[in-house]
């Protein structure tokens, strides 16, 4: 039996309390959690598998791996680069920290995002929600990258 941990959300970002919240997941066979994690945390690979991100930068000279407090900017959904800050990141650089893969050589990849601000609210008001579709495209690209089907 496999148990899956719930996300311990900071109170301000609890799903449903912001201007938008999206949740997407895939369960794939033949992709290890470690392999998927590599492409997820190396922000410099994002543009190789996800066409809805551009102009990624780290104004404080951080990166490419996210960490608590790191500020970064990126273009998405046609917006000029948006300023973002990592509020909580539970992976330490150089330390392999991923949940075990599922039985049968499967891996669950979950992405959830809670946002505040006018751009997020505008996207949330467009059915189908572009953020939900965008996150699915992100996951699909991440799986392709982890399988070695795109450059990265």
Q: How far, in Å, are 6, 50, 59 from residue 142 at the CA level?
A: 22, 8, 25
pLDDT of residue 1: 43
Distance from C-alpha of 110 to C-alpha of 89, rounded to nearest angstrom? 15
Instruction: Indicate whether 61 belongs to any domain.
Output: yes
Instruction: Indicate whether 7 belongs to any domain.
Output: no
pLDDT of residue 5: 61
pLDDT of residue 7: 76
pTM assigned to the model:
0.85
pLDDT of residue 52: 94
Instruction: Indicate whether 6 belongs to any domain.
Output: no
Q: Which residues of the chain have pLDDT under 70?
A: 1-6, 91-100, 151-152
Distance from C-alpha of 142 to C-alpha of 132, rounded to nearest angstrom? 15
pLDDT of residue 71: 96
pLDDT of residue 128: 87
Instruction: Indicate whether 10 belongs to any domain.
Output: no
Instruction: Indicate whether 9 belongs to any domain.
Output: no
């Amino acid at each position: 039996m496999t148990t899956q941990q719930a996300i311990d959300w900071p109170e301000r970002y609890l799903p449903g309390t912001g201007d938008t919240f999206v949740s997407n997941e895939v369960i794939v066979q033949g992709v290890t959690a470690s392999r998927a994690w590599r492409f997820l945390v190396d922000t410099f690979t994002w543009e190789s598998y996800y066409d809805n991100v551009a102009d990624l930068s780290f104004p404080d000279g951080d990166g490419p791996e996210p960490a608590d407090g790191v500020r970064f900017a990126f273009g998405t959904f046609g917006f000029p680069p948006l300023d973002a800050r990592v509020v909580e990141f539970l992976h330490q650089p150089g330390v392999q920290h991923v949940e075990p893969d599922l039985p049968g050589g499967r891996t669950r990849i979950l992405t959830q995002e809670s946002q505040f601000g006018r751009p997020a609210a505008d996207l949330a008001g467009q059915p189908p929600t572009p953020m939900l579709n965008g996150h699915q495209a992100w996951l699909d690209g991440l799986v392709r990258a982890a399988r070695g089907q795109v450059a990265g």
